Structure 1
Amino acid sequence: MANKVVKKQIHTIPVLEVVRDELAGERLPLVIFYHGWQINKELVLTQGRKLAAKGFRVCLPDAPNHGERKQTLSPIPSVTFWNSIQGNLFEFETLCEHYEKESLTNGRVYVGGLSMGGITTCALLTHYPEIKAAVCLMGEPAIVDYRNRGIERARAFNVDFPQSYVDLMSWQEKFDLSLRPELLAGRPIYFWHGTEDPKIPIDSVKRFVAVNQGKEYGKNIVFEIGEGKKHLVHTDTMDAAANFLAAKK
């Protein structure tokens, strides 16, 4: 089963599309999988191949400010970070509409991502009930709390923020899955996180799962802990993510 990898431009969004060669012209379930901070779509191609092998059409976009869209970082890196996530959210419908217009999807849409892409994934679940299932690898559902922790860390290094910073980021409250967990509405989501992750600590994800997994809307949350693992996804986790979504087709 050979995979076909095609480099495409969807409006202004550079993407890699991965699909089994013999299924390339068929309507398939669509997975949009988002990469992490300061990497690019090519570095999640292994995950894309594993998903395509399960019969999905996989779209791997470059986030704004990344890959082919790389730009100079803001003097306050978190501004570029959140701008990149907001751009992913803004462009989600564009990607879905493209595949629908081209008759390349059967209408079943899934999302996933690692690190910054996992944050994007959780945020999308607050606004798009058509998403059937999701995978969040090393991500963060509580984005307001994550933002506030970032401000505290930056101020410890004497980084100044404008007084209006929180207001400028006010969109985050409406996309914070931890503040609106009922919007999961029973949809399956797979979390994986390493216990020794220094970049996005596991504690917030553990709290989210503990609070919501026993609720009706959170009954299909699956949480796998990577004991001793840091901020890196290994191939066995990629396999687990692909198997999880394949079981929800």
Structure 2
Amino acid sequence: MLTINEELFADIPSLHVYKTENQDKPLPTVIFWHGFGSGKEHNLHVAYRLAMQDIRVILPEAVHHGTRGTGLTEKQAQMEFWSIVVKSVSETKNIKSALEEQQLIQDARLFVGGTSMGGILTCGALAAYPWIKGAVVLMGCPSWEKLAREQIAVLKEQGALPISQEDIEAQIQKLVPYDLSQHDAALDGRPLFFWHGRDDAVVPYQYSYDFYEKMKHTYSDRRRFIYHLNHSAGHKVSRTGMIEMCDWVADYI
């Protein structure tokens, strides 16, 4: 039997999922972030499969989403995309501290993961936090600067970028410390699972695949650093991919 609780961790609304019998036990723990325009409850199928394998799962709500919505239009939220991502990286640390205070993490066994925006911010968290033991990046991107510049180019074509080039460059420079592709030594052999659809038109797979190709030689055990490229998928994780990811986490957390 599973328990799903709505809780606050460091004042961040989250769903807390675990086997009922494990309520107060320290457990291997996964903080799993949702995508842009989504919400914490949309990853309950992931939490279910992980929790059934005796893993504690925290599904946080990102700022400007769900219960933390602030009435932004979709276009306004898009302009806040990177500030949401960076804030969520910071909040990952706060959630971890709250879990530690409650002694809910077993032997520092903490993974971070997410889909789309959640996968992007997971890469940034890996660059920033050596205490993360491993990670899952579904449709994400480790190359923050390149992705941001691609997004800016699209917005310019649409005539929807009301800030100067100087301000753009200043904002991009704030992303560089979290760009895992530029700080690849930060990966430091930690287990990392990538999944991406080859036909993804939202977050191109090539950024994460290029990173994988660059770094795979640093792993003697290739199962610890794995890339699943689904040749028939777009911007949606397949059921098979979800199951493989959850089983991989159970093996390596």
How many aligned positions are there? 248
Partner of 1:232 in structure 2? 236
Show the counterpart of 1:96: 96
- TM-superposed CA distance for 1:217, in Å, is 9.4
Compute the displacement of 1:119 (Å): 0.3
1:72 aligns with 2:71: yes
For normalisation by structure 1, the TM-score amounts to 0.94
In structure 2, list runs of 5 or more residues that go unmatched: none
State the 1:235 CA deviation.
Answer: 2.1
Any gaps of 5 or more consecutive residues in structure 1?
A: none
CA distance in 2 between partners of 1:217 and 1:162 (Å): 46
CA offsets 1:220-239 (integer angstroms, 9 cap, x no match): 32000111101011222111
What is the letter of the counterpart of residue 70 of structure 2? Q
Aligned partner of 1:235: which letter?
Answer: R
Q: Provide the C-alpha distance between the structure 1 equivalents of 2:59 and 2:185, rounded to a whole number of angstroms.
A: 28
Q: Quote how far apart the aligned CAs of 1:103 are.
A: 1.4
Identity %: 29
Alignment RMSD (CA, Å): 1.7
Aligned partner of 1:236: which letter? Answer: T
In 2, the alpha carbon distance for the partners of 1:204 and 1:11 equals 32
1:144 partner amino acid: E
- Residue identity in the other structure for 1:221: F
In 1, the alpha carbon distance for the partners of 2:93 and 2:214 equals: 30
SS in 2 for 1:33: strand
Q: Does 1:14 align with 2:13?
A: yes
In the aligned structure 1, how far is the partner of 2:211 from the partner of 2:93? 27
SS of the residue corresponding to residue 240 of structure 1 reads helix
Task: Provide the rounded CA distance (Å) in 2 between the counterparts of 1:10 and 1:206.
Answer: 33
Is the aligned partner of 1:207 residue 2:206? no
> Who is 1:83 aligned against?
83
Residue 122 (structure 1) aligns with: 123
Equivalent position to 2:199, from 196, 199, 207: 196
- Structure 1: distance between partners of 2:72 and 2:215: 36
Question: Could you say if the C-alpha distance between residues 51 and 204 of structure 1 is closer, same or farther in structure 2, counting changes exceeding 3 Å?
Answer: same
Q: Distance in 2 between matches of 1:99 and 1:203?
A: 35
C-alpha change, 1:127 and 1:7, in structure 2 (3 Å) is same
- Displacement, 1:176? 0.3
Q: Is the 8 A contact 1:5 1:19 kept in 2?
A: yes
- Take 1:209 and 1:41, find their aligned partners in 2: how far apart are those partners? 28
Moved over 4 A (4+): 74-77, 216-219
Give how far 1:80 is off: 1.5
Alignment correspondent of 2:142: 141
Q: Equivalent residue of 2:3, what SS?
A: strand
1:99 alignment partner AA = L
TM-score by length of 2: 0.93
Larger deviation: 219-228 or 192-201?
219-228
**Partner Cα separation in structure 2 for residue 213 and residue 24 of structure 1:** 37
Distance 1:230 1:15 in 2: 28
User: What amino acid is aligned across from residue 190 of structure 2 in structure 1?
Assistant: R
Instruction: Indicate the residue corresponding to 1:113 in structure 2.
Output: 114
